[in-house]
């Protein structure tokens, strides 16, 4: 069962590494405004996220089973403490190394996700700005009586022509 945990942690490390690579491709697509490429990347990202979710579920089941089968029963909340109950020092060392690598990979993936989210929001703001400018819409610097923005429209085009 401990070897199953090592296998799942290894697969999780690889999956998060793959998610980071997808995030880098996504950043490039956002910067170059490659919408077709972005669409394909989002599909890849969804598949990777589903794989990670399945692996996390499997990891949880393995940890639960190891906790139940251990005598005395292991009830520690932190993974590092749990790994100290491994049957051999070599397995414990491998689990701790994988845990550290997984932590690094997850942090990298989260940082990339946050940066890509900022890029996507900035691109959306730019599109909204240009659409509002073309349509003559402007957001006033004050709020309306219900707390919402006040939007005024200037007629720039005569569509009756």
Q: Which two tokens stand for residue 72?
A: 């005395």
- This prediction's pTM: 0.70
Burial class from Cβ neighbours inside 10 Å (0-12, 13-18, 19+) for residue 24 reads middle
CA separation for the pair 87, 18 (Å, rounded): 31
H helices of the chain, in order, are 2-32, 35-69, 79-83, 89-135
Nearest to 109 by CA among 40, 33, 48, 59: 48
Query: What does DSSP assign to residue 159?
Result: T
For residue 151, what pLDDT band results from cuts at 50, 70 and 90? Answer: low
Helix, strand, or coil here: 55? helix
Condensed to tens digits (0 to 9), the pLDDT of residues 41-65 reads 989 999 999 999 999 999 889 888 8
Q: Is residue 152 a contact partner of residue 140, using CB atoms and an 8 Å limit? A: yes
How many residues are recorded in the chain? 161
Pairwise CA distance, residues 58 & 9, whole Å: 10
- CB proximity list for 129: less than 8 A, separation 6 or greater: none
Two tokens, residue 91: 């397995």
Using one digit for the tens of pLDDT, what is the confidence trace for 53-102?
999 999 889 888 877 776 656 655 677 777 777 778 888 898 889 899 99
């Amino acid at each position: 069962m401990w070897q199953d945990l090592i296998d799942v942690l290894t697969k999780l490390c690889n999956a998060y590494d793959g998610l980071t690579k997808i995030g880098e491709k996504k950043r490039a697509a956002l910067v170059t405004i490659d919408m077709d490429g972005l669409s394909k990347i989002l599909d890849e990202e969804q598949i990777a996220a589903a794989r990670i979710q399945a692996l996390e579920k499997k990891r949880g089941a393995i940890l639960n089973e190891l906790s139940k089968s251990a005598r005395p029963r292991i009830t520690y909340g932190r993974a590092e403490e749990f790994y100290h109950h491994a049957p051999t020092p070599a397995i414990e060392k491998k689990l701790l190394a994988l845990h550290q690598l997984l932590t690094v990979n997850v942090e990298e993936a989260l940082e990339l996700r946050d940066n890509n989210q900022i890029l996507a929001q900035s691109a959306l703001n730019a599109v909204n700005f240009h659409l509002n400018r073309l349509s003559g819409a402007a957001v006033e610097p004050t709020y309306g009586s219900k707390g919402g923005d006040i939007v005024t429209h200037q007629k720039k085009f005569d569509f009756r022509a």
